[in-house]
Amino acid sequence: MTTPLQQRFVDQILVMLGKAPRKPRQAGDFTERALKAHELKRMTNKTDLAAVRAAHRANERNHKWRNRRWATLICANLLFVVSFYFDIKILEGALTASRFIGFHLIDLNSALQVMLAHKHITTNLLIGAGTVLVLWMLVGGRSFCSWICPYHLLAEWAENIHLWLVKKKLVTDTPIDRRLRTVFWIVFALLAVVTGYTVYESISPTGIVSRALIYGSGLLAMVWVLALLVFEVFFVRRAWCRHACPIGLTYGIVGIVTPLRVKYTLAGCFHEGDCRKVCLVPHVLDTVIKGRAVDTEVPIGPDCTRCGLCVDVCPTGSLKFDVKGLSGLA
């Protein structure tokens, strides 16, 4: 007999691959205490709703985690730049592969592309990719996306423009099919095997932006990145990161076993849904919808980028960063 949380664990992996989140329907889908909590919530009176709304508005300017994340992202990329520019040899290379004070670090998706295309694995490639694998297993899979990837930051700014245009009713916000990313992942893996070229690397905005920052090279390739951003501003919110990027899926798979994640606590939540509005991957936050949480505490699934926007926006502290196994110590 699988517990509701185990069911959700499996379901969230499928959700990452593009499935719509499963809506818990019968009593067996919930734990006892979750059922009780939902029951109690039905009995709360609605008079304090005005106070709740005020709390939400007051929280709008809370950007603690976003600021920390932007600082980390900018510092990490700047470290690459200054390492080369001033020849201080701390972090040499680019995001696809680098050396941190001599230790090889190799991006998992790039390593995969090279292995599939070249069909040969060198020791350094294995060491570098292995180190990154362990590192990102510890610090949370897709946290690579929101805390390191330079394209993510550009896309985040483009997203703000997009949302402003949506508010002015100048563009519509139509999400696209989330299964596309899984298809892309498979297609690019196959293309690497069949053609013998690292096809994905030639269009990867992560690599292109990273190299442009560090070496000032590939400025023509930045036109492609710009085209992606324009598409995101005028057509689909965060199209690349949400619906296309195979790197995101690779790190998402790593994130399945990672102990660092955002945890949802049912008790204090008012189900206002602000967190879902700011989220890059709102399908992982289906659990915050009223009556959906299968337990009183629900860890957020592997597609979550641990960006912390939901943690910032939540006025009740129902969404918090959490390390599995350490929560008892805090």
Q: Which tokens in the block code for residue 327?
A: 């929560």
Q: Which is nearer to another protein, 49 or 223 (CB)?
A: 223
In 168-305, alpha helices (H): 179-195, 205-215, 221-234, 239, 246-255, 274-278
Report yes or no: 303 and 252 within 8 Å, Cβ to Cβ.
yes
Residue 180 is a binding residue for another protein (CB under 8 A): yes
Q: Which helix (H) or strand (E) holds 297?
A: strand 297-299
To another protein, the closest distance from the beta carbon of 114 in angstroms equals 5
CA atoms within 13 A on the CB side of 173: 14
**x/- map, 235-274, another protein, by CB under 8 A:** xx--x---xx------------------------------
Report yes or no: 209 and 154 within 8 Å, Cβ to Cβ.
yes
CA 185, distance to chain mean position in Å, is 16
Residue 75 is a binding residue for another protein (CB under 8 A): no
Residue 106 is a binding residue for another protein (CB under 8 A): yes
Q: Is 131 exposed, middle or buried (0-12, 13-18, 19+ CB in 10 A)?
A: middle
To another protein, the closest distance from the beta carbon of 33 in angstroms equals 25
To another protein, the closest distance from the beta carbon of 198 in angstroms equals 7
CA nearest 254: which of 207, 298, 302, 206?
302
Which of 157, 164, 197, 321 contacts another protein by CB under 8 A?
197
Which of 108, 125, 280, 300 contacts another protein by CB under 8 A?
125
Point out which residues bind another protein (CB under 8 A). 20-21, 23, 83-84, 87, 92-94, 96-99, 104, 106-107, 110-111, 114, 117-118, 120, 122, 124-125, 128, 172, 174-177, 180, 183-184, 187-188, 191, 196-203, 207-208, 211, 214-215, 217-221, 223-224, 227, 231, 235-236, 239, 243-244, 276, 282
